[in-house]
Amino acid sequence: MGVCVHLARYQQAALKTLQPAADGTDPALIPLLGLVGETASVAAAYKKRLRDGDGAGPSKQQLREELGDVLWYTATLAHLLGLDLEDIAAASLEKTKDRSRATPDDERPHFDTDYPPHEQLPRRTTVTFTPTPRADGRTVIVLTREDGTPAGDPLTSASHIEDGYRFHDAFHLAHAAVLGWSPVSRFLLGRKRRSRPGIDEAEDGGRAIAIEEGISALVFAYASRHHYFEDVSRVDQELLTTIDHMTAHLEVSVLRAADWEKAIMTGYAAWRQLRKHGGGRLELDLDTQRLVFLEP
């Protein structure tokens, strides 16, 4: 029977075999370089298996030794950086859960249920995107609410190249549908929470709107390099982490990375249809977290 080793105990034992660094040398440098080297050794060993077949590759015993070296350098480097290996492992598992599973319905917050109905995001509504020629030869996109009133200002792509960004309000509507959060959608639909000035300023005001617009521009730049997610179902963790940092002080911060990933994919599915048809209607449904394209 193997010996069960707890990560904290392993880290303490690993430190007993850590040699002191030479005078004038950063103590973390040796384990850092060692970690890089051992990780490369694992990759090289596995590459040999892929190239020559399972029989020619390293045995499980050899791979175990290589990975053991990676673990040793990780444990000692963590200590020198003031980190606890068990805490690192726990945080990693929490991050994985945040990415792999959306917030359950019974844990999902509703950010405006305690507000008057006219300050709540509509649980179900339709927004129309209409291409409208201008006298200067440009075609702008005019958004209208379900009752026919305008929703914001007419939009162009504001770019030297027509890339379809003029339909980007689809992203904000997807945020509203999937996350139940969107300062921009509140502005477009006239649903700002003015009855509580503090919330209106901090959550629905200019700074929050600028942050959401920044997220849309950031994701669009990423999406433009990935075929606008047409054949992609996942978003890089680095991008989701950046979004998490940008919204850390806002109410939406309680939701998970998986929720943002779903919102992004929902928004781009609608955006691609709007761009393809040159406009159309989007049906927003907060209860089912859906944003459905309806042909013009």
In the beta sheet, which residues pair with residue 124? 285
**Integer Cα distance of 263 and 61 in angstroms:** 44
pLDDT, tens only, 251-284? 999 999 999 999 999 999 999 999 999 999 999 9
pTM of the predicted model as reported, rounded to 2 decimal places? 0.77
CA 246, 166, 220, 96 torsion: positive or negative? positive
DSSP symbols for 114-140: TS-GGGSPPSEEEEEEEEEE-TTS-EE
**Domains with residue ranges and CATH for the chain:** 7-100 (1.10.287.1080), 105-294 (no CATH)
CA 74, 258, 181, 140 torsion: positive or negative? positive
Secondary structure of residue 82 in the 3-state scheme: coil
Q: What per-residue confidence (pLDDT) applies to 183?
A: 98
Give me the half-sphere count of Cα atoms (radius 13 Å) on the Cβ side of residue 56: 8
Contact 103, 255 (CB under 8 A): yes
Task: Express as a percent the part of the chain with pLDDT over 70.
Answer: 97
Mean pLDDT of 291-295: 93
